[in-house]
A and B are shown apart, each in its own frame.
Chain A
Amino acid sequence: MSEEKKERLTRAERLAKEKEKNLKHWEAEDTLLLKHREEAYNIGGEDQIKRLAKQGKKPMRDMISALIDPGSEFFELGLDAGYNIGKVKLYGGEIYESEKRGHIPGGGMVTGVGKIHGKDCMIFANENRYAAGTYFPITLKKHMRAQAVAERLRLPCVYIADSGGINLPLQLGCFADDGHFGSMFYNMCRMSAMGIKQYTLSTGGNTAGGAYIVYLASESIMIEKLAFAFLAGPPMVKSAIGETVSPEDLGGAYVHTQHSGGCDHIVKSQDEGIKKLRDIIEFEPSQSLYCELKKPAEPKFDYKEMMRMSPANTYNAINIKETLKCLADDSYFHEYKPTYGLNRGETIVAGKMWMKGMPIGVIASSGNGVIYIEAARKATEWMIRCGNSNLPVMFLQGSPGYMVGKSEEWGGIGKYGSDMVRTCSVLNVPKIQYVIGPDHGAANYGMCGRAFRPVFCFTNMRGRTTVMSGETAGFIVETVRRKNIIDKGQQVNEEEMAKFRQMMRDRYDAEGHPFLTGALLFHDGVIAFSEARNKLARSLELCYRTPIARTDWGDLKV
């Protein structure tokens, strides 16, 4: 046996040997993750904190801490947005870079759910430590995403506004389209009409369209001498009609609370503003939990066991039941069709469990995660059962794709896969996706990727999301190139081909990484192993804030 060869072990021995290695690996990865977050927490550093302090302002994260109930945790969404966005090979990437805004940790705003007087509210706060809180395309995407979650779960919305409005050099990606600036207001109006309250505390500039975030609120608050709202600021007024006026006299708190009536409450400081917000939200009706709650129980295994049992290599098989036992109350998992299809069925584990007393259905990739006909059929059946039982579903996605090849195609993998995709699409119960491994091809669809509107969509550091592996993509493009070169009667340059293969591999590896997919908000956040149970259970609790709707299944083939 040559030196570089793998040591020959039984699977049990391999696992025993690799457990501690896996643990160390994931501890290092999660440390990296926590460090990654720091940049968004401390954007601008001490300088920006001092700058705000001079204006009598605190950083938004401090405001949010004061707003939510003492001791409660802010359930942040989209923290990974905007990192190195100028480097992505996607619409707009270079535009950010050319405006020297290529790195926006946090994406220009803070969004997440917090408890205020015990009521879950969606909180939005402009990151006024970066580019004056202006909106970039990624900021808007983050804002829209949080509004969509609020609307779906009927959570009152609280906007802590301090924004220069659209970042002007990037207006093309911010102004006119669906999902751009106007959609913020459209969503506010529609949510308000649905009975989902919208509250705004203006703690800075709200210019032009930005002023509507004050006027459109169910109730709004402005801070004396700190908050301004006007359709056009003093310089534009000067140029348009020659009028000279101070910001305070044009659209200060007193103007809108005494004269225009555009705002409802005036306060003297940020602290007073936060107190007022809390007072207002105290009147909100208390929220129900639309499920039968069982007595919660801790799992028998902690998150470190989950780390040990998750192979360091994303492309090595995982036994997902080892993960489930670390997530489920009392480590109890009720499995559906555990013996069906033998090893062709076991690449998807289906079943249900309780998390902190709340029931949840589970569809989870296991082993090598490749979805065969039997696995797809089992998943479809189980989604239908969850839908019919009003049971939210969590997808633990670690599948590299549906099985390919003649025998599988003849057997109907396309048909059964499409049934799974259809069921996942129409499934009307709340869905949560947590990517824990390879996430490629149509498996991203059947396992409820972003396009299939999971209420929440997370990944851990093991997740890799791309259409296929870099290896395969390189192979396909290389084959096409080779054919073209040969057809033209030219010679293939093997050295260039090898370089090209490596480039594709590197590119796909980089593009599938959780930090990059998070920078573009393909998910709501990277969750550390140590946070997984708490954050998933919190997601589930939020999902149970609205009555579960029934599902119409559509034209299944079965």
Chain B
Amino acid sequence: MSVNVVAPMPGTITEILVQVGDQVKADEEMIILEAMKMENPICAPSGGKVAEIKVSEEQKVDTNQVLIVLE
């Protein structure tokens, strides 16, 4: 079963900390999203493997846009 990790708010992707194939633990930081001047870490909702990264650094994203697919 795959899990979509989405942006909680619109902003800019400043850093992607994971690569496709990485194993992540629950609550591990995967992406830094800058929004409203604040650095917001986007964390894994559960443990899993990074199946897909749908964004790139510097990219602007919208609320609920899928950033990463975990499986």
The chain A residues found within 8 Å of chain B, CB to CB, are 1, 5-6, 8-12, 14, 313, 315-317, 343, 368-370, 400-401, 403-405, 407, 438, 440, 468-469, 471-472
- Find A313's partner among B17, B36, B39, B63 (CB 8 Å cutoff): B39
CB pair B36–A370 under 8 Å, yes or no, is yes
Residues of B with C-beta under 8 A to A10: 25-29, 43
CB pair B30–A8 under 8 Å, yes or no, is yes
The 9 closest A-B pairs by CB, nearest first: A368-B38, A10-B27, A400-B37, A469-B37, A8-B17, A370-B36, A10-B28, A400-B36, A315-B38
CB pair A400–B32 under 8 Å, yes or no, is no
Q: How far is the CA of A315 from the CA of B17 in the complex (A)?
A: 19
List CB contacts (< 8 Å) of B10-43 with chain A: 10, 15, 17-19, 24-30, 32, 35-41, 43
The chain B residues found within 8 Å of chain A, CB to CB, are 8-10, 15, 17-19, 24-30, 32, 35-41, 43, 63
CB pair A11–B36 under 8 Å, yes or no, is no
CB pair A471–B37 under 8 Å, yes or no, is yes
Q: How far is the CB of A446 from chain B (nearest CB, A)?
A: 15
Kindly report which residue of chain B lies nearest to residue A313, judged by CB atoms: B39
Q: How far is the CB of A541 from chain B (nearest CB, A)?
A: 34
Q: How far is the CA of A12 from the CA of B26 in the complex (A)?
A: 11
Kindly report which residue of chain B lies nearest to residue A440, judged by CB atoms: B37
Q: How far is the CA of A264 from the CA of B36 in the complex (A)?
A: 60
CB pair B17–A5 under 8 Å, yes or no, is yes
CB pair B27–A316 under 8 Å, yes or no, is no
Known contacts A6-B29, A11-B29; is A368 also within 8 Å of B36 by CB? Answer: yes
Q: How far is the CA of A472 from the CA of B36 in the complex (A)?
A: 9
Kindly report which residue of chain B lies nearest to residue A406, judged by CB atoms: B10
Known: A317-B40, A370-B38, A401-B37. 12 other contacts (CB 8 A): A1-B17, A1-B19, A8-B30, A9-B28, A10-B25, A11-B29, A315-B37, A370-B35, A401-B36, A403-B9, A405-B10, A472-B37
Residues of A with C-beta under 8 A to B10: 405
Residues of A with C-beta under 8 A to B36: 368, 370, 400-401, 403-404
CB pair A6–B32 under 8 Å, yes or no, is yes
Residues of A with C-beta under 8 A to B63: 405, 407
Residues of B with C-beta under 8 A to A12: 27
- Find A438's partner among B24, B32, B38 (CB 8 Å cutoff): B38
Q: How far is the CB of B12 from chain A (nearest CB, A)?
A: 11
CB pair A6–B15 under 8 Å, yes or no, is yes
Kindly report which residue of chain A lies nearest to residue B38, judged by CB atoms: A368
Q: How far is the CA of A472 from the CA of B27 in the complex (A)?
A: 30
Q: How far is the CA of A24 from the CA of B63 in the complex (A)?
A: 36
Q: How far is the CA of A183 from the CA of B19 in the complex (A)?
A: 66
